[in-house]
Structure 1
Amino acid sequence: MKIAIAGGHGQIALLLARLITDAGHDALAIVRNPAHVADVEQQGATALVADLEQLDDDELAIRLRGVDAVVFAAGAGPNSGAERKEAVDRDAAILLADAAERRGIDRYVMISSMAADTYDPERAVVPARSEDDVFQVYLRAKSEADADLRARNLRWTIVRPGALLDTPPQGTVRVGRTVPRGSIPRADVAAVVLHALLDDTAVGVQFEVTSGDAPIAAALQAIS
């Protein structure tokens, strides 16, 4: 299987690329900055330098030739403004779905955010007035990207992790349509995405995930 990862230089994306290649599959890491090519190649991935804020879906579809599945792991980043939350966290995710459909790629895994649908519509506006308003825009962008994906005739999975940690993976999780607030290692989020793809589980399912007691494969099977 050849899996393209949008936001290929992100922390979860780099972990996922290594898991994909260690499992004997091909990872194509989409990165905006040419300086990041060496980092993704160290994880065994092939780099595709492409700016999702500049391409249209036809151009991106051409570059996804030979890809079997796509993962959206991109984000505008913690120091970005409200405009880029919309441009990356929402619009780039939609662009990837448009390109996947044009290319005939029907498997799409979205890495979203816990409680994305709980944004305050009065505060989630551009231009944002405060840092918390920017976060509300971020949640709205994620929510709208998720809604767009759910409406498509794709074999989608939407993963909404809790607070992200840089701790070693546990290999066990708690999943559900909603789960209590909690945290999860980025490495476990990457493993959740890998299992969803390679085991072909959680298709057509949106779920929140934190650390828990259930082995990842079993947890995804249970919600499929």
Structure 2
Amino acid sequence: MRIVIAGGHGKIALRLERLLAARGDSPVALIRNPDHIDDVRAAGAEPAVIDLEAATVTELTEKVMGADAVVFAAGAGPGSGELRKDTVDRAAAKLLADAASLAGVRRYLMVSAIGVDAGPGPDAEPVWAAYVRAKKAADDDLRDRSLELDWTILRPGRLTDDPGTGSVRLAPEVPRGAVSRDDVAAVLVALLDSPASTGRVLELVGGDTPIAEAVAAACAE
């Protein structure tokens, strides 16, 4: 499969690219900085340089044309302000959905964040509140596209760089907790292989259930 990954130089994206390439898929990494070309090639991905905050929908459509699926794993990242939480975490996700629709790519996986439907707490730090609002808005936009996209929203808990265990807890709602980026990437691969995950919003933390079993169970409910 040809999988286009927005935020292709991010920690989750690089892990996902390695997993996809290792099993014979063709990941395409959308990156803003040409300095990251060698990194994504080393992960087994084809680099495609494009700035999701500046690109037109036509330009992005050209990048996703012919893909079997797209994955939004981009984020403004630590140190970014309120404005970039909106332009990346919301607007870029929407742009990718628009481009996928125009290109006829139905499968769309969104990497969101646990608990965003509840919104930010009343005492939330402003940048964090902006992030939560942006993620919720992006998810809401995607959930309104069921006629044009076969979407799945994955909402991981607090991300860590610990080695993956291959076991997780995955359901529409789970207690807050942490999960390794390795396991998030592995769950994304499993969701790509599961048509039954279409139209589902799933929260993810570390757990005791092997990933294949966790995905099958979550998609059977």
Q: TM-score, normalised by structure 1?
A: 0.94
Distance 1:188 1:85 in 2: 25
Cα deviation, residue 122, structure 1: 7.0
The alignment status of 1:187 with 2:187, answered yes or no, reads: no
Residue 188 (structure 1) shift: 0.3
Q: How many residue pairs are counted as aligned between the two chains?
A: 217
Task: Give the deviation of 1:23 after TM superposition.
Answer: 1.0
Matched, 1:149 2:145: no
- 2:139 is paired with a residue whose SS is helix
SS of residue paired to 2:108: strand
Equivalent in 157, 165, 173 of residue 160 of structure 2: 165
Give secondary structure in 2 for the equivalent of 1:147. helix
Corresponding residue of 2:13: 13
Q: CA deviation at 1:176?
A: 1.5
Tell me the distance in 2 between the aligned counterparts of 1:207 and 1:181.
13
| 2:116 alignment partner in structure 1 | 116
The reply to whether residue 34 of structure 1 matches residue 29 of structure 2 is no
Partner of 2:130: 137
Q: CA RMSD for the aligned pairs?
A: 1.3
Which residue does 1:85 correspond to in 2?
85
Q: Encode CA deviations 1:146-193: one digit per residue, 9 max, x unaligned.
A: 010011021111000001110111111111211111100000000000
> In structure 1, what residue type is equivalent to 2:188?
V
Aligned partner of residue 66 in structure 1, secondary structure: coil
TM-score after normalising by structure 2: 0.95
Further displaced range: 106-115 or 170-179: 170-179
Secondary structure in 2 matching 1:113: coil
Structure 1's unaligned 5+ residue stretches are: 124-130
Where does the alignment leave 5 or more consecutive residues of structure 2 unmatched?
A: none
Is structure 2 residue 204 aligned with structure 1 residue 209? yes
CA shift, 1:55, in A, is 0.8
Could you tell me whether the CA contact under 8 Å between 1:108 and 1:155 is conserved in 2?
yes
- Whichever residue aligns with residue 206 of structure 2, its letter is S
